[in-house]
Structure 1
Amino acid sequence: MFTMETGRRRRFLTIAAGVVAVVGLVIGLVVFKPWLLFVDVRVDEKLPIVATSTEQAEPSPSAPSTVPFTPAATSAAPAGPVQLAAGTLISHEHATTGTVRIIQQPDGRRFLTLENLDTSNGPDVHVWLSAAHVVEGTAGWYTAGSADHYDLGLIKGNQGNQVYEVPADVDLSKYKSVDLWCVQFSVSFGAAELAA
């Protein structure tokens, strides 16, 4: 028999279920940020141009020099940036393409570049130097998370060209790959094995 008390209880339960559904939806939107999958952030930073040869400063025998010749002037130091390592990004949880390079400037500063990057936008994706080797397929989605890594920071965008400075105290010999790691969900979007 339907009573006024039963009607109130049903109304209360309906309102409570609606409130729980709305709160669950808001929490889901805050945590998963699904709109990021439909928004691209393009970054086009200037990439360092790698030196193709070394230049030596030697006096020309036909032209007199006003600066005295010194052995330091003939050093084979590169005239520009030098590539230390490079790799090609492969897809892990999200389709990812592009090239990764580690470049050293003549002054000793080192930079990691992401070139022609194209991946999904996502929450909390970081650029990691990782001690793990890159593993293709779903087996590689989590390998970087269980290895030593150095976090270069939040990814600047999911498309384009980006440059990240590698601090002087980072020992690059420890790191075998670059990983685009989603910290929030502990999964790799994509990774590149580094080769000299």
Structure 2
Amino acid sequence: MTQSYKIVIPVFFIGFLAGAGFWYLFSPALFDRVVSEELPAGFDLSELRSGEFRDVDGAHRGSGKAQVLVSPAGAALLRFTDFEVTNGPDLEVWLVKDPDPQKSADVSASQWLSLGPLRGNKGDQTYVIPEGTNPSEWGSAVIWCEQFGVLFSVATLSEAKI
């Protein structure tokens, strides 16, 4: 009986740790976080730049529109509409100088600015671009997994057509 405990307890403990680790890493991919934010009321906003999110690879997919919106007073917002991206752990929204990063190393090698955690992997949402930031200097909006340093989706930002 004692001999079987020497085997069962470590196997149970290792199995428990492996299961908890698997759940921590892969559960975000199983559940969608849907948000539906409206633009703040009372703002006169015009589109400065925009682009469409694209897939990075077979596992990291994204779609929807990214727009840089500015007010006459100089406030700037990054707006996602019809947005959808593969869910994952610790996703953030970044502005990146590189206009067309193809892989994670391209993002890491470029200058970037975090706008904070991604609120949801589906739906319309808005992020404030910090005051004093020139939105015209940033070439793309990216969804970035901070925990693993992985690029999830990219939207190349082009000048708005007037």
Q: Identity percentage over the alignment?
A: 24
Q: Which runs of 5+ in 1 are unaligned?
A: 1-6, 50-78
Alignment map for 1:41-56 (pairs within 5 Å): 41-47=33-39
Residue type matched to 2:45 in 1?
P
Amino acid at match of 2:19: L
Structure 2 CA distance for aligned equivalents of residues 166 and 19 of structure 1: 46
Q: Looking at both structures, which has the greater relative contact order when contacts are Cα pairs under 8 Å and sequence separation is at least 6?
A: 2
Q: How far apart in 2 are the matches of 1:115 and 1:179?
A: 14
Q: In 1, Cα distance between the equivalents of 2:76 and 2:16?
A: 48
Aligned residue number for residue 111 of structure 1: 77
Higher Cα Rg: structure 1 or 2?
1
Query: TM-score, normalization: structure 2?
Result: 0.85
The one of 131, 154, 160 aligned to 1:168 = 131
Q: Is the 8 A contact 2:34 2:121 kept in 1?
A: yes
Tell me the residue number matched to 1:90: 54
Counterpart of 2:145 (choices 178, 182, 189) is 182
Which of 108, 117, 122 is matched with 1:159 structurally?
122
Q: How far, CA to CA, are the matches of 1:48 and 1:19 in structure 2?
A: 50
2:96 aligned with 1:130 = yes
**TM-superposition CA deviations, 1:2-57 (whole Å, max 9, x none):** xxxxx634530232122122122223323x0x2222222221112379xxxxxxxx
Which contiguous aligned blocks of 4+ residues in structure 1 show a shift greater than 4 angstroms? none
Deviation per CA, 1:68-104: give whole Å up to 9, x if none: xxxxxxxxxxx93221111111112422100111010
Q: Deviations over 1:123-168 (max 9, x none)?
A: 11100001123244xxx24421232110000011111111111112
Q: Which has the higher strand share?
A: 2
- Matched to 2:110, the amino acid is A
* SS in structure 2 of the partner of residue 160 of structure 1: coil
Q: Which residue pairs with 1:66 in the alignment?
A: none
Q: State which drifts further: 173-182 or 21-30.
A: 21-30
Query: Shift in Å at residue 186 of structure 1?
Result: 0.9
Using the alignment, how far apart are the partners of 1:159 and 1:26 within structure 2? 26
CA distance in 1, matches of 2:127, 2:5: 57
Question: In 2, distance between residues paired with 1:27 and 1:126?
Answer: 21
Structure 2's unaligned 5+ residue stretches are none
Answer yes or no: is the 8 Å Cα contact 1:47–1:161 preserved in 2: no
How many angstroms apart in 2 are the aligned matches of 1:39 and 1:16? 31
The aligned length equals 156
TM-score (norm 1): 0.71
Residues of 2 paired with 1:24 and 1:36: CA distance? 17
CA RMSD of aligned residues (A): 2.2
